[in-house]
Amino acid sequence: MSSPAPLIEVHRGDMLESLHSGHAVVCDDSGQIVQAWGDPMAVIFPRSSCKMIQALPLIESGAADAHGLTSEQLALACASHQGAHIHTDRVQVWLDQLGLKDSDFRCGPQWPGDIPARNEIIRAHAQPCQIHNNCSGKHAGFLTLNRHLGGAADYELVDHPVQQAGKAAFEEVTDMTSPGYGIDGCSAPNFATSVQGLARAMASFASAGDRSDTRSQAMVRLTQAMTAHPELVAGETRACTDLMRAMDGRVAIKTGAEAVFVAIIPERKLGVALKITDGSTRGAEAAIAAILVKLGVLDADHPATRARMVPEIRNWRGTLCGHIRPTRALL
């Protein structure tokens, strides 16, 4: 087992102030490691980075087609959105289609990350609902699958058919038995895997166009939904949205809490997974941008790339104080 590799440096003036280390793996369509940093076998919780895996049973079961889900809805099922109106309005329509209401969600209420949406609630002296939860699209997917399966209302429990279907898909695409699970921020179980297992799963998504089985077709639909609707997967100013736009729909990427990031690169049939050991989002964003540049699918000079890979640190008066940058290992 290797130690985490130093991946991202934070500089103030000309001195190093902070450092982010982690594990990262690039896998090809045979599941083999093309490149790795740190320990590929490090066990991690993928958190929201695996939402496209959790959405597989929604399609494979026939639930998505039975409910006529659109590409936008599939993108929302894979999303960690920021509760802007473009997100919550669509999830509300989806709930209405199911004849369900906010209280049927099991994800819990969360303040929107979207500033205008947040301020609207504050000015109304109101409180956020479960639909504002960044996972409400995923949970709308769970509710749809649950309706299809005829399961009980507690769809978030680990032994519920909805979550067991997710677990089976997860272990199949990561090609390993999950060593355990934790409860995620949205109350659903989150199954652990290795960084390599997660990268292998992403490579399977990336190469799914070569195959014609039900799973591969579902993988292609989900990847295309994410790349077709980058604004639904996260939101304005967010790394997932900005970087997917910068790659013009060629690559799907997804963040997860505690500094996980994955990428699905169909044109190269490559999958990427990384975890910054300390859980810092700024480190994960800089690292995924650097790896995508290194793999030749993201333009290093695109403003969205620079803002994530080598962001400036400015203070409250706008003075440039320092910058974040990848270590030599990522260049």
Interface contacts to its own copies, rule CB under 8 A: 10, 12-15, 17-21, 43-45, 106-110, 119, 122-123, 133, 179-187, 190, 192, 258-259, 276-280, 283, 315-319, 321-322
Question: Parallel, antiparallel, or unpaired: how do β-strands 43-44 and 320-326 relate?
Answer: unpaired
- Nearest distance in Å: CB 308, its own copies: 17
Q: How far is the CB of 276 from its own copies (least distance, A)?
A: 8
Residue nearer to its own copies on the CB measure, 161 or 279: 279
| Nearest alpha carbon to residue 42 among 192, 174, 266, 167 | 192
Shortest Å distance, C-beta 211 to its own copies: 33
Residues 6+ apart with CB under 8 A from 148: 61, 62, 63, 66, 67
Compute the distance between CA of residue 285 and CA of residue 297 in angstroms, rounded to an integer: 15
**For residues 212 and 315, which CB has a smaller minimum distance to its own copies in the complex?**
315
β-strand partners of 124: none
Q: Which residues of 85-119 are buried (b: 16+ CB within 10 A; e: fewer)?
A: ebbbebbbebbeeeebeeebbbbbebebbbeebbe
CB of 215 to its own copies, least distance (A): 27
Q: Least distance (Å) from its own copies to the CB of residue 124?
A: 10
CB of 47 to its own copies, least distance (A): 9
Q: Would you say 230 or 322 has its CB closer to its own copies? A: 322
CB of residue 271 to its own copies, shortest distance in Å: 22
Residue 212 or 319 having the CB closest to its own copies: 319
Of 150 and 318, the one with the shorter C-beta distance to its own copies is 318
* CA 2/CA 8 separation, integer angstroms: 18
| SS3 (DSSP) at 227 | helix
Instruction: Go through 126-164 and write b for each residue having 16 or more CB atoms within 10 A of its CB, e for each that does not.
Output: eebbbbbbbbbbbbbbbbbbbbbbebeeebbbeebbbbe
The amino acid at residue 128 is P
Select 228 or 313, whichever has its Cβ closest to its own copies. Answer: 313
Cβ 19 to its own copies, closest distance in Å?
5
- Please say which residue, 4 or 57, places its beta carbon nearer to its own copies: 4
CA distance 331 to 325: 10
DSSP structure string for 32-91: -EEEEES-TT-EE--GGGGHHHHTHHHHHTSHHHHTT--HHHHHHHT------HHHHHHH
Q: Which two tokens stand for residue 243?
A: 């970087």
CB of residue 214 vs its own copies: minimum separation in angstroms? 32
Contacts of 319 (CB under 8 A, 6+ apart): none
CA–CA separation, 261 vs 283, rounded Å? 10
Which residue, 42 or 251, has its beta carbon nearer to its own copies?
42
Q: Which is nearer to its own copies, 269 or 275 (CB)?
A: 275
Instruction: Name the token pair of 118.
Output: 């947040």
